[in-house]
Amino acid sequence: MFVGDLAGKAEEAAYLYVSVFNGKIESIEKYGTNDDGEPEDMVKSIIFSIDGTTIMAMDSNLAHKFSFTPSTSIFVECESLKEFTHAYNELVRNGEELVPIGQYGDSQKFGWLNDRYGVSWQLNLS
């Protein structure tokens, strides 16, 4: 859920993710006038798929005591070094590196980051 300073960013983030991973926006529903106390045109739900996984995101302008945390992250097994490098560079832009790209265990390359929206990603190339 995109809350606080990120409220209103769910659609932008979903379109970034599907562009990075050649995914697809499945559906989008926006709040209407006086709908659940949320501003009109904010995302009530956006469903998209990347790498065979369906994900739902939403905006909330209401006060919450939570946001994104790296304790939950999206793990993507990349098919090639080109895909890994592209995804990592796009997602880390204006974000932060949590674990530097390296070879850990059986991985050829692994990197863990928070993107510009605070969503945590683990990218792996076996």
pLDDT, tens digit, for every residue of 21-40?
999 999 999 998 877 677 88
pLDDT at 18: 97
SS3 49: strand
Q: pLDDT tens digit string along 42-100?
A: 999 999 999 889 999 999 888 788 788 888 999 999 999 999 999 999 999 999 999 99
What domains appear along the chain, each with residue ranges and CATH number? Answer: 4-57 (3.30.720.100), 73-125 (3.30.720.110)
The pLDDT of residue 53: 92
Q: Alpha helices, DSSP H only, in 68-119?
A: 81-92
The kind and range of the H/E element at 16 are: helix 10-20
Residue with tokens 């949590």: 98
pLDDT for residue 12: 97
What's the pTM value of the predicted model, to 2 decimals? 0.90
Tokens standing for residue 60: 């909330």
Nearest to 70 by CA among 114, 6, 102, 116: 114
Q: What is the pLDDT of residue 91?
A: 98
